[in-house]
Structures are given as structure tokens and as C-alpha cells.
């Protein structure tokens, strides 16, 4: 069964550094999402992306965050200048239509030191 | 804004049924989902229900939806130790093409299965 894949599984970065989290959505999917889960808390929506532009973003997704689909397979989340509070598990998801369930990757654990 | 609530913890004995409950506030919710998260792992889609349905059964899983009360439940029959995990309820409102539809998640219910 096709999967959403995320790399790396764990990223450790110094505060203030830029980080790029990578995702390969399921190949025939058109809608892409990023969520984050701070340890012990609920999964929170960050941003959705369709047709090469952001569809919706949450309050968390401020100017430090950006997303990109640089080619036909990758979908990336960039955090420009990381803060301690960015430490979390980041999940990528995709679906073929909004009415279909979103399929999630295994996540990238981001640790900011 | 949308809000989804779940109880935090449920403990059941192996072989018993588990019932995990969820309430939501968004009356325009179109789809409701149950995801399972094992320790250190991602979110695994278990099942989902469209808002015009009352019930959906899939092997050991039964989803009940009370749209009037905005209440969703997941029943796991014959609960096994491998069912121990965190279960997240989530809702989305969108069904239109051309607009991605975000998921709003509940707090998660930790299911502990004891022998």
C-alpha cells in the first residue's frame, strides 16, 4: 500500500538555525498538509497546500514557516530561525480529494537545543 | 473555532470491549475520523464516518455517530494488548474540491489493555 514518507525521522538543531523537513506524499495525491504535535499534546494543524499554493494556515504558521513543493514528489516545511518551542513531532499528510481520509507519515521529531 | 474533546484515559481487560468517546462542536463537520498512534509512531487511520451515517462497522471496530448531540464513539470488540495506544478523534468540514480540508484533532484517549 502506498505510504507517505518523511525524512529525517529525527532532527536535532541549534536554536536560531534553519531546518527543512521533507515529505514525499502518496504519488497520486493532490492535497498536502503539515501538522505538529508537541510532546503530550494534541495534534495541531499548521498548513494545507493545493495547486502549488497554500490553501489555509493556522496561527502557528507565522512568517518563520514556509512550505514548498520543489518538484513533482517532495513537499517540504522550512522553519527559518528555530526556537525552543518549535520542538515537536511534525507530521506530513496527503489525500487525493478533501473528502478522502488524510494519510500520515511517521513524522519527524524535531529537537531544538 | 472548532473543538474536539475526548477523555484522556481508558483501561480495559483483554477480551472486553472498549468504548472511546468524542464530542465536537463544529456542526458543519462532514467527516469524522479515528486515528491510532502507538508509542513513537505516526498516525494510523483506523476508520471514518460520513456525517449522514449513524453507524459504521469494520471487523472489530464499530463507529457510532450522534449528529444531534455531536457525539462520536469508537467501540473495539475483543480488545487485545496490541490495541494499547492513543486514539485520536478528528473532524473535517470540507468536501469541496479545490480546497484542502484541515483536520481538527481531539486530545487523544490513551487505551491501556490489561491481562
Tens of pLDDT, residues B12-54: 999 999 999 999 988 777 889 999 999 888 899 999 999 888 9
Mean pLDDT of chain A: 94
- Chain B residue whose CA is closest to A108: B42
Nearest CB to B94: which of A51, A98, A107?
A: A98
Judge whether A104 and B43 are in contact, CB under 8 Å. Answer: yes
The confidence score (pLDDT) of residue B99 equals: 67
Q: Return the pLDDT at B98.
A: 58
Q: Render pLDDT for B63-79 as a digit per residue (tens, 0 to 9).
A: 999 999 999 999 999 99
CA angle A107, A110, B3 (to 5 degrees): 65
Phi, psi values for residue A85, rounded to 5°: -75, -5
> B107–A101: do the CB atoms touch at under 8 Å?
no
* CA distance, residue A47 to nearest chain B CA (Å): 8
Residue of A23, A41, A88, A104 to mutate, interface with B, max B Cβ within 10 Å: A104
Among B97, B98, B103, B109, the strongest candidate for a mutation testing the A interface, having the largest count of A CBs within 10 A, is B103
Percent of chain B residues topping a pLDDT of 70: 93
User: Please, what is the end-to-end C-alpha distance for chain B in angstroms?
Assistant: 41
| Nearest C-alpha neighbor of B100 from the set A1, A65, A67, A37 | A67
Tell me the mean pLDDT in the region A3-17.
95
Q: What's the confidence (pLDDT) of residue B42? A: 87
CB of B34 within 8 Å of any CB in chain A? no
Asked if pLDDT for residue A56 goes beyond 60, the answer is yes
Phi, psi for residue B31 in degrees, rounded to 5: -130, 140
Pairwise CB contact (< 8 Å): A45 & B104:
yes
Strand (E) or helix (H) holding B53: none
- Partner-chain residue, chosen from A55, A56, A101, that has the shortest CB–CB distance to B45: A101
Mean local confidence (pLDDT), A46-67: 94
What's the rounded Cα separation, in Å, for the pair B12 and B20? 11
Please name the member of A98, A101, A107 whose beta carbon is closest to the beta carbon of B33: A101
For β-strands A31-37 and A88-95, DSSP reports them as: antiparallel
Amino acid at each position: 500500500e502506498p505510504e507517505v514518507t518523511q525524512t529525517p525521522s529525527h532532527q536535532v538543531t541549534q536554536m536560531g538555525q534553519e531546518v527543512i523537513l521533507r515529505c514525499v506524499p502518496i504519488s497520486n495525491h493532490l492535497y498536502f498538509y503539515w501538522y505538529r504535535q508537541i510532546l503530550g499534546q494534541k495534534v495541531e494543524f499548521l498548513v494545507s497546500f493545493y495547486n502549488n499554493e497554500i490553501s489555509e494556515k493556522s496561527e502557528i504558521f507565522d512568517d518563520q514557516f514556509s512550505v514548498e513543493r520543489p518538484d513533482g514528489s517532495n513537499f517540504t516545511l522550512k522553519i527559518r530561525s528555530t526556537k525552543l518551542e518549535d520542538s515537536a513531532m511534525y507530521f506530513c499528510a496527503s489525500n487525493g480529494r478533501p473528502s478522502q481520509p488524510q494519510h500520515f507519515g511517521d513524522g519527524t521529531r524535531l529537537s531544538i537545543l | 473555532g472548532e473543538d474536539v474533546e475526548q477523555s484522556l484515559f481508558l483501561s480495559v481487560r483483554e477480551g472486553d470491549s472498549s468504548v472511546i468517546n468524542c464530542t465536537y462542536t463544529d456542526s458543519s463537520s462532514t467527516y469524522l475520523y479515528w486515528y491510532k498512534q502507538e508509542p513513537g509512531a505516526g498516525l494510523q487511520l483506523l476508520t471514518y464516518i460520513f456525517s449522514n451515517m449513524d453507524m459504521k462497522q469494520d471487523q472489530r471496530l464499530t463507529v457510532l455517530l450522534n449528529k444531534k448531540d455531536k457525539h462520536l464513539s469508537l467501540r473495539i470488540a475483543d480488545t487485545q494488548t496490541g490495541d494499547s495506544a492513543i486514539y485520536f478523534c478528528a473532524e473535517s468540514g470540507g468536501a469541496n474540491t479545490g480546497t484542502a480540508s484541515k483536520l481538527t484533532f481531539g486530545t487523544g484517549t490513551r487505551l491501556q489493555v490489561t491481562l
